[in-house]
Structure 1
Amino acid sequence: MSVSDSRETILSEASRLFASKGYSSVSMRHVAEHVGMTPANLYYHFKNKEDLIRESLAFVFIGKTQHLEDIIRDQTDPERRFTLFVSWFSRLLFEDDIFAKLVCRELLDGDDRRMEFLAKNVLQRPFSILVNIIEDFLETKDSALSAASVVGMILGHYQLAKVLQHLYGNHPEYGHPDWITAHVLDEFRSRAAARSDRSDVHG
Structure 2
Amino acid sequence: MTTNNTQQRILETAAALFANKGYDALTMRDIATACNIKAPSLYNHFKDKQQLYLATLRFVFTREGDALMACLQSDLPAQQKLDDFIALACRQMAGSFIFRQLFIRELLGQDEDRLKFLANEVMLDNCLALQKVFVDINPDCDPHFLTTSLMSLLFFHFQSNALRLHLPGGSEETQSIDYLTKNIQQMINHHLNC
Aligned residues: 194
Residue deviations 1:134-156, cap 9 Å, x none?
A: 11123644211221112112222
Q: Show the counterpart of 2:19.
A: 19
CA distance in 2, matches of 1:4, 1:118: 23
- CA distance in structure 2 between the partners assigned to 1:175 and 1:117 by the alignment: 32
Tell me the equivalent position of 1:5.
Answer: 5
Alignment of 1:1-203 (within 5 A): 1-138=1-138, 140-194=140-194
- Higher Cα Rg, which structure: 1
Q: Which amino acid aligns with 1:131?
A: Q
Rounded Cα–Cα distance in structure 1 between residues aligned with 2:190 and 2:134: 13
Once the two structures are superposed, residues 64-112 of structure 1 have per-residue CA deviations (whole angstroms, 9 ceiling, x without a partner) of 2221233444342222111111122222221111111111111111411
C-alpha deviation, 1:114, in angstroms: 1.1
The 3 A distance-change label for structure 1 pair 91 and 66 is: same
Q: Which amino acid letter does the alignment assign opposite residue 87 of structure 1?
A: A
Structure 1 stretches of 4+ moved >4 Å: none
Contact 1:140/1:191 (<8 A) preserved? no
TM-score, normalising length: structure 1: 0.87
Instruction: Tell me, in whole angstroms, the C-alpha distance in 2 between the residues paired with 1:171 and 1:135.
Output: 35
- Judged with a 3 Å threshold, the aligned counterparts in structure 2 of structure 1 residues 66 and 39 are, in CA distance, closer, same or farther, namely same
| Native 8 Å contact 1:11 1:56 kept in 2 | yes
CA deviation after TM superposition for structure 1 residue 160, in Å: 2.5
Taking only the aligned residue pairs, the percentage that are identical comes to 27
CA contact (8 A) 2:72 2:129 kept: no
RMSD across aligned positions (CA): 1.8
Structure 1 residues 118 and 192: alpha-carbon distance in aligned structure 2, compared to 1, 3 A threshold? closer
Distance in 1, matches of 2:190 and 2:19, equals: 37
Whole-Å separation in 2 of the counterparts to 1:156 and 1:147: 14
